[in-house]
Structure 1
Amino acid sequence: MTERWLVVGADERMKVLAKNLASEERTVFYKNKTSWDAELNATALEFHPDVVVLPIQPLQIDVQIVLGIQKAVMHVGKLSPEWEVILKEHMVYRYLQQEAFIWQNAALTAEAFLAYFYEHKRAVRHKRFIITGFGRVAKMTAHMLKNMQADVVILVRSVAQHCEALALGYESYLLDELPHIDGVALINTIPAQWLTPSMREQFAMPIYDLASAPGCVTDSVEHYILLAGLPGKYFSTDAAHLLKTAILDWGAEQCLKVNALD
């Protein structure tokens, strides 16, 4: 029996994903949406999807009741509290909890930032970049910049991450002990609103935010650019392939986890 899949999202990768998922075993319907609205309710009620794929950022809910997905298996990124309640009885698979997907997506994000930077006619070699945070995206971005002979400074809130960055050969400081640092750009990867207007005065450089919305700023600041969803914007084919692999291989990854515990 042919499975019915519904793929939702405005990110270009979701459109490519829907196309790549289509096969003799799967009938795939794609909706370019940033919210679950009456039109999506109507589509789901007519299509009766067996599987629904939601984008990384949670969809806004513009209806009183989400209809047509009661029996669907859900593949999701981040979920809002509303979605958590709606899907509490569903079989839900969270691709953002798959380590392989997270690391590969971080690498695509880092490379996409370089594409964005080059697009604005700026060279990387021998330039100083300040990176806040030292999670996966920060590590991949720092690694790529360093390999291109850029000077990388790491600013973190965590003592453990500070020590890790130092051990890997980076110049590193704690945010609450911040010295004056010059550079061509500050790249934020901390998913929290930590950059107050007073702290902004310490960074006389453009700020590129790779963290998810709402970004790192607490108020409007100059020369601040939120660059969420870079993989889908610059490498939609690669990003879609990565997401397809994460969705279709969830069973194999679960088996690996179970076997590791035996």
Structure 2
Amino acid sequence: MKKKIAIIGTDPRLNFLQQSVSEYLDTQLYPTMTWDTELRETIFAYEPEVIFLPIQPIQTDCSLELPPSCQTLFIGKTNESIDRESKKDTIQPFYYLEDEEWIWENANLTAEGFINYFYLYEKQAIYNKKFIITGYGRVGKRLALALHHLGAEVIISVRSELQLYEAKSSGYQIVTLDNVLDQQGEDAYLVNTIPTKWLNNEYAASFSRVFDLASNPGCLLDNENNIPLNYSLSTSLPGMYFPQDAGQLLARSVLKHLAF
């Protein structure tokens, strides 16, 4: 008999996750981002051994209590309620956003998604444009490579001396994050991959456009008021443009962890 998995969330990737694991698991998809009494009763009645929570933390209208049948809990971003349930002795938590294979493959999709996003909203070629990428983690590296192959001028900006010279050894121009504003101008696009607030709103307005690929709250120091017109919070690009590929990527992470 197949194990049961309850997949919770509204992200379009989850439809393809469900399809991809259905050969191995009995699946139910609950398209909601809120844990309420109705969802709780439905999942308790289903008695899944595996529960997959959405990437963004699920909101709670009642106490988040998982059924006794739950043995494995797949967690994206967490919160206090999720943390409390994941600490139960009967539940094995798996933080799929920390799966190294998923991180690198998702970085590839993010880089390709950004290119599509740029074409759609800028309606310009990437060739011969200047892109300053802040951050040189997985997404920064994959994006730098993709833009470079399309003929862009790529500048990497980080605080880490190790990453700075790693980027230089790969053939990119470099500038420290403290001096990145020296590169500002109407001909420069800033692409942020650093998941923290570091950029003054006034300085952000001096670039041609700021594309923020980092998760909420983004890179702006003041992201509630006076948001520059040239600022775009461009998150969840894999789910936006490639839900099938991104969903199948999640499925591989799930099946690998469950040893299928």
TM, length-normalised to structure 1: 0.89
State the 1:71 CA deviation.
Answer: 2.6
Work out whether residues 36 and 66 of structure 1, in 8 Å CA contact, stay in contact via their aligned partners in 2: no
Mapped partners of 2:244, 2:113: distance in 1: 13
Partner residue in 2 for 1:224: 231
One-letter amino acid of the structure 2 residue matched with residue 109 of structure 1: T
3-state DSSP class of the match of 1:206? Answer: strand
Letter in 2 for 1:135: G
Aligned with 2:199: secondary structure? coil
The verdict on how the C-alpha distance between 1:9 and 1:142 changes in structure 2, with shifts beyond 3 A counting, is: same
1:103 maps to a residue whose letter is W
2:114 partner letter: F
Worse overlay, 214-223 or 237-246: 214-223
Aligned to 2:163: 161
**Residues in 2 aligned to 1:225 and 1:51: alpha-carbon distance in whole angstroms:** 36
Which runs of no fewer than 5 residues in structure 2 stay unpaired?
Answer: none
The residue number in structure 1 matching 2:41 is 42
After superposition, the C-alpha distances for 1:232-262 in whole angstroms (9 at most, x for unaligned) are: 1100111111111111112569xxxxxxxxx
Find out whether 1:247 has 2:247 as its counterpart: no
Shift of 1:161: 1.4
What is the aligned counterpart of 1:138 among 137, 140, 143? Answer: 140
- The alpha carbon displacement at 1:144 in A equals 0.1
Counterpart amino acid of 2:95?
Answer: R
The CA deviation at 1:70 is: 5.7
Letter in 2 for 1:169: G
Q: Which residue of 2 aligns with 1:208?
A: 211
Alignment of 1:165-204 (within 5 A): 165-178=167-180, 179-182=182-185, 183-201=187-205, 203-204=206-207
Shift of 1:74: 0.9
Pairwise CA distance, 1:184: 4.2
RMSD: 1.9
Residue type at the aligned position of 2:196: A
Matches within 5 A, 1:19-98: 19-23=19-23, 25-68=24-67, 71-89=70-88, 90-98=91-99
- In structure 2, how many angstroms separate the alpha carbons of the residues matched to 1:168 and 1:192? 25
TM-score, length basis structure 2: 0.89
Do 1:131 and 1:142's aligned partners in 2 also have CA atoms closer than 8 Å?
Answer: yes
